[in-house]
Amino acid sequence: MRLRCAVLDDFQDIATTIADWSPVQDRVEVTAFTEHFATEDELASALADFDIVVTLRERVPFRASLLDRLPRLKLIVASGMRNSVIDHASAERNGVTVCGTQSSPTPPVELTWALLLGLARGIVTENNALRAGGPWQSTVGADLHGRRLGLLGLGRIGSRVARVGLAFGMEVTAWSPHLTEERTDEVGVELAPSKEELLRTSDFVSLHLALGDTTRGILGAADLALLRPTAYLINTSRAALVDQEALLAALREGRIAGAGVDVFDTEPLPADHPMRTAPRLLATPHLGYVSQANYRTYYGQAVEDIEAYLAGAPMRRLG
């Protein structure tokens, strides 16, 4: 009898075609779910008869309360090599192996610049007007060359965003709680003396921090108040890095020129969420990691992880 594998949040209905599942198809029956399960009760009911779950990034929390309700579950494969919403201790206690996959930093870098450029040049506004027979030119684009890009975080993604900024002729500064001048020198950017100074002096601010105890809420109302009225904020990392109510207030009151956001406090975003109608906001539905190459890696390595688990030698273990 074959094991049953659930693929969660396969919104594009692509998981079973973008990767080759033939190495495990004689031993594993794969079911892809294209709709998101919003509650733990829905998840527990849907996954009750599955031995394996493949989950994308950190969208679905596997807390102890859920894992305790899934006695048949033996393997979770999560895309990426870090997952903060899986209770690894509970997984071990329940006999559940947790494995990951590689993830390229390139797609979120590219989306960061898509949002930044879209905001700076009014792409959505002008495209909508052109298609609807509206005014011919209604915005004046913000220049990048010679302007200052402030990065909160200079890791795998932030450093690549920095290099693109430098290629545009921007002045690039960076800050994070533990960032050193040695690291900024390595990337070729300036170390900001403080978070506050970075916010006060930047024309564009982009967040590239991992979410943790020291970074959660790192941009609160007082921090956002430091931004210039002409400044733009980009967040393709985690919503909880920024006080969401304070950001909405800044957008509604016109205290910043705009924001580009790819991450939200609840995903998928509820139909009545205020982020859907906020002014000066260019928003995308968490597309940072969503690219053909990344999906081939995620699902291709998920198959490898399942095959290795079945052989009794799990690989890319997390936790």
Catalytic residue numbers? Answer: 238, 267, 286
Q: Could you list the beta-strand ranges (E) of 52-96.
A: 52-55, 75-78
3-state secondary structure of 298: helix
Helix (H) or strand (E) holding 28: strand 28-32
Helix (H) or strand (E) holding 207: strand 204-207
| Number of Cβ within a 10 Å radius of residue 104 | 15
> Looking at residue 201, what DSSP letter applies?
H
107: its two tokens: 């797609």
242: its two tokens: 């920024």
d(CA 230, CA 11): 36
286: its two tokens: 């968490």
What's the full length of the chain, in residues? 319
Amino acid, single-letter form, for residue 78: A
Alpha carbon of residue 186 to chain centroid: 25
Residue pair 209/241 in contact by the 8 Å Cβ criterion: yes
d(CA 256, CA 249): 10
Q: Which string of DSSP letters, residue by residue, matches 123-143?
A: HHHHHHHHHTT--S----PPP
Bridge partners (DSSP) of residue 22 are none
d(CA 199, CA 149): 10
**Longest C-alpha distance within the chain, in Å?**
64
**Residues contacting residue 265 through CB under 8 Å, at least 6 positions apart:** 239, 240, 244
